[in-house]
């Protein structure tokens, strides 16, 4: 039987990046893109080039780095956006411009303040202009889920004529039920048969994003847009891992379809993204949650021990979980073993970064008996966030806070000079962060603070993720800090955020785009 390929369009770096409420730095985005390529996604939506110079820079670096996946940038249906997208992806081996405009009457009337005819003209212009940069153009009818079917067909005819090869029908507000999406997709895919690929982009506001995506595939969609761990605006997007595994596990139903995804890279991808964004999937999250393969009940355990297929519909090894959580490396592991481990975990580091990571690994191995995969992931991701190091923590001293005023003395290296200051705060962390601000001269506002124990045991590493805003007009910045000591990890995370901010200073400014300007 001939298999039809369902294209996986990953938007973790675009729609997903809108969910952490903070920016990743360029190096982090590149690492994610490289992992997505290894996972086998067909299209990587690397960002929204016109949104900020930082986005543009990250997309163009990803375009140079990735060769087995198509690299795509989002663009509103205006010339300057399309031009930015075209220029950002210029060096990609395979490239796509994804342009969009709202097509529901509620959006056309109240948001765009345009007549349907004007909307069609704008869409056609954007697609024609995009085709001057690339062959591969996708057009999205924003809020398709609430658009009039007659108008959808009219605008679709016009943009296909103008050169769009993929028509995306986003349920931007996550309002539709599977049977409704299915009916729309069926009608549109029959209507465009042989002329364009129908794609879907479902939001999870009613918890139906994956169900809607699967129903769309059964109804004729040949591309699904999705994100790792279901990241995305508000309640998120459709989870890539759930769609892909549903197609695989239920091949009895979806037998005619397959994806190019290497499912063994699902778990490493999920971990990398959780580590970088600081957003852990809920423990009971399907496929990648901490408990997804834990069989707690005695009856289940007995069944699983007798024959795994009794209760396990997915084998852990299918998603790359088989080698996890076993003791991986220790004090005596060599550089080659370490490098091999990194590559298995999906990291591709330059020589300098590799040496740096190995030094840190050795340092850790001296203090911590057993080192697990998650320790290594945290070690590498926390290091990426700290490059380049404009400021470096030299030492941290804390005063007893049980009775009295919490205070901290901090020494920081900046341009090979050391600066020491001491300060007080409402709590110890507050004192540390305020003192760092005084030394650097940058005033940060702490938006979020999270501490996580990386692996098991009392000697587990503390992985601190902070989101800090250094400028009200710009998005907050993510920082990571790793240490066996939580306070030290916190100080490192805060300085990491500052270093990331400085590496992107002036590039984060959002030009004139807000979140209602996306799909």
Q: Which residue, 297 or 515, has its beta carbon nearer to Zn ion?
A: 515
In angstroms, the Cα distances linking 156 to 317, 395, 424 are: 42, 61, 62
Q: Which two tokens stand for residue 179?
A: 């049977």
Q: How many CB atoms lie within 10 A of CB 509?
A: 15
Q: Which residue, 351 or 514, has its beta carbon nearer to Zn ion?
A: 514
Q: In 3-state terms, what secondary structure has residue 350?
A: coil
Closest separation between CB of residue 85 and Zn ion, Å?
Answer: 17
Task: Choose among 27, 21, 13: nearest CA to 383.
Answer: 27
Q: Which two tokens stand for residue 410?
A: 């901090």
Task: List all residues 6 or more positions away from 256 whose beta carbon is below 8 Å from its beta carbon.
Answer: 1, 2, 3, 4
Q: Which residue, 15 or 215, has its beta carbon nearer to Zn ion?
A: 15
What are residue 455's phi and psi, to 5 degrees? -135, -170
Closest separation between CB of residue 45 and Zn ion, Å?
Answer: 10
Closest separation between CB of residue 266 and Zn ion, Å?
Answer: 21
Q: Which residue, 226 or 508, has its beta carbon nearer to Zn ion?
A: 226
Closest separation between CB of residue 9 and Zn ion, Å?
Answer: 11
- Sheet containing 407-414: order of strands: 391-398, 407-414, 417-424
173 within 8 A of 203, measured Cβ to Cβ:
yes
Question: Using CA atoms in the order 47, 49, 52, 57, what is the torsion angle rounded to 10 degrees?
Answer: 80
Residues 12-71 that bind Zn ion (CB under 5 A): 15
Closest separation between CB of residue 207 and Zn ion, Å?
Answer: 16
Write a three-state SS string for 88-146. HCCCCCCEEEEEEEECCHHHHHHHHCCCHHHHHHHHHHHHHHHHCCCCEEEEEEECHHH
Closest separation between CB of residue 14 and Zn ion, Å?
Answer: 8
6 within 8 A of 217, measured Cβ to Cβ:
yes
Residue/partner pairs of 289-293 with CB below 8 Å, 24 or more apart: 293/321
Q: In 3-state terms, what secondary structure has residue 74?
A: strand
CA 160 to CA 162: how far, in whole Å? Answer: 5
Q: Which two tokens stand for residue 313?
A: 């519909």
Q: Which residue, 119 or 519, has its beta carbon nearer to Zn ion?
A: 519
Task: Choose among 169, 12, 154, 198: nearest CA to 100.
Answer: 169
CA 439 to CA 418: how far, in whole Å? Answer: 10
Q: Of the ranges 8-16, 31-39, 389-397, 433-441, which one interacts with Zn ion (CB under 5 A)? A: 8-16
Q: Of the ranges 7-15, 78-86, 151-159, 476-484, which one interacts with Zn ion (CB under 5 A)? A: 7-15
Q: Of the ranges 40-48, 51-59, 254-262, 511-519, which one interacts with Zn ion (CB under 5 A)? A: 511-519
Task: Choose among 157, 218, 153, 209: nearest CA to 186.
Answer: 218
Q: Which residue, 127 or 519, has its beta carbon nearer to Zn ion?
A: 519
Residue nearest to Zn ion (CB): 15
Closest separation between CB of residue 168 and Zn ion, Å?
Answer: 10
Binding mask 458-497 for Zn ion (x = CB under 5 A): ----------------------------------------
CA 138 to CA 44: how far, in whole Å? Answer: 13
Q: Which residue, 240 or 519, has its beta carbon nearer to Zn ion?
A: 519
CA 302 to CA 470: how far, in whole Å? Answer: 54
Q: Which residue, 228 or 519, has its beta carbon nearer to Zn ion?
A: 519
Q: Which residue, 142 or 280, has its beta carbon nearer to Zn ion?
A: 142
Closest separation between CB of residue 80 and Zn ion, Å?
Answer: 22
Residue 352 belongs to what H/E stretch? Answer: helix 351-367
Closest separation between CB of residue 227 and Zn ion, Å?
Answer: 9
Q: Of the ranges 10-18, 39-47, 60-68, 212-220, which one interacts with Zn ion (CB under 5 A)? A: 10-18
Q: Which residue, 205 or 312, has its beta carbon nearer to Zn ion?
A: 205
Closest separation between CB of residue 188 and Zn ion, Å?
Answer: 18
How many residues touch Zn ion (CB under 5 A)?
A: 2
Q: Which residue, 216 or 386, has its beta carbon nearer to Zn ion?
A: 216
Closest separation between CB of residue 104 and Zn ion, Å?
Answer: 15
Question: Using CA atoms in the order 169, 173, 176, 180, what is the torsion angle rounded to 10 degrees?
Answer: -20
Q: Sort strands 417-424 and 407-414 into parallel, antiparallel or unpaired.
A: antiparallel
Closest separation between CB of residue 203 and Zn ion, Å?
Answer: 6
Q: Of the ranges 11-19, 386-394, 397-405, 471-479, which one interacts with Zn ion (CB under 5 A)? A: 11-19
| Residue 517 lies near Zn ion (rule: CB under 5 A) | no
Residues 344-383 that bind Zn ion (CB under 5 A): none
Q: Which residue, 173 or 390, has its beta carbon nearer to Zn ion?
A: 173
Residues that bind Zn ion (CB under 5 A): 15, 519
């Amino acid at each position: 039987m001939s298999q039809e390929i369902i294209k996986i369009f990953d938007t973790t770096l675009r729609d997903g990046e809108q969910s952490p409420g903070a920016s990743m730095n360029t190096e982090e985005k590149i690492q994610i893109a490289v992992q997505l390529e290894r996972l086998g996604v067909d299209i990587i939506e690397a960002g929204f080039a016109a949104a900020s110079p930082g986005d543009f820079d990250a997309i163009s670096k990803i375009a140079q780095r990735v060769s087995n996946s198509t690299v795509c940038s989002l663009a509103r249906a205006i010339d300057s956006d399309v031009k930015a997208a075209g220029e950002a992806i210029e060096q990609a081996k395979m490239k796509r411009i994804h342009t969009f405009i709202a097509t529901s009457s509620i959006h056309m009337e109240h948001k765009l303040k345009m007549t349907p005819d004007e909307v069609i003209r704008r869409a056609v212009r954007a697609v024609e202009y995009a085709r001057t940069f690339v062959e591969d153009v996708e057009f999205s009818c924003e809020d398709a889920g609430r658009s009039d079917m007659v108008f959808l067909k009219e605008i679709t005819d016009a943009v296909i004529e103008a050169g769009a090869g993929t028509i995306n029908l986003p349920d931007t507000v996550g309002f539709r039920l599977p049977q409704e999406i299915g009916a729309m997709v069926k009608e549109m895919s029959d209507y465009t048969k042989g002329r364009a690929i129908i794609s879907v982009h479902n939001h999870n506001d009613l918890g139906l994003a994956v169900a809607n995506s699967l129903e769309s595939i059964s109804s004729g969609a040949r591309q699904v847009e999705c994100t790792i761990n279901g990241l995305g605006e508000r309640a998120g997007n459709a989870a890539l891992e759930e769609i892909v595994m549903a197609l695989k596990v239920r091949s009895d139903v979806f037998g005619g379809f397959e994806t190019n995804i290497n499912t063994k890279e699902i778990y490493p991808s999920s971990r990398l993204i959780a580590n970088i964004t600081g957003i852990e999937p809920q423990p009971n999250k399907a496929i990648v949650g901490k408990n997804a393969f834990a069989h707690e009940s005695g009856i289940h355990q007995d069944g699983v021990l007798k024959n795994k297929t009794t209760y396990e519909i997915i084998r852990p090894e299918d998603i790359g979980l088989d080698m996890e959580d076993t003791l991986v490396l220790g004090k005596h592991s060599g550089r080659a073993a370490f490098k091999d481990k990194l590559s298995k975990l999906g990291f591709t580091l330059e020589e300098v970064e590799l040496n740096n990571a190995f030094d840190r690994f050795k340092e850790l191995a001296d203090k911590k008996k057993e080192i697990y995969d998650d320790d290594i992931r945290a070690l590498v991701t926390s290091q990426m966030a700290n490059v380049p190091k404009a400021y470096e923590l030299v030492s941290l001293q804390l005063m007893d806070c049980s009775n009295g005023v919490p205070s901290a003395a901090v020494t920081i290296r900046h341009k090979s000079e050391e600066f020491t200051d001491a300060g007080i705060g409402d709590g110890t962390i507050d004192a540390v962060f305020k003192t760092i601000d005084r030394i650097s001269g940058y005033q940060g506002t702490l938006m979020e603070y999270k501490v996580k124990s990386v692996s098991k045991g009392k000697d587990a590493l503390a992985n601190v993720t902070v989101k800090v805003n250094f400028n009200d007009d710009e998005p907050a910045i993510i920082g990571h800090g790793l240490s066996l000591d939580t306070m030290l990890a916190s100080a490192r995370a805060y300085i990491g955020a500052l270093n990331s901010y400085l590496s992107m200073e002036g590039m984060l400014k959002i030009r004139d785009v807000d979140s209602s300007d996306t799909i």
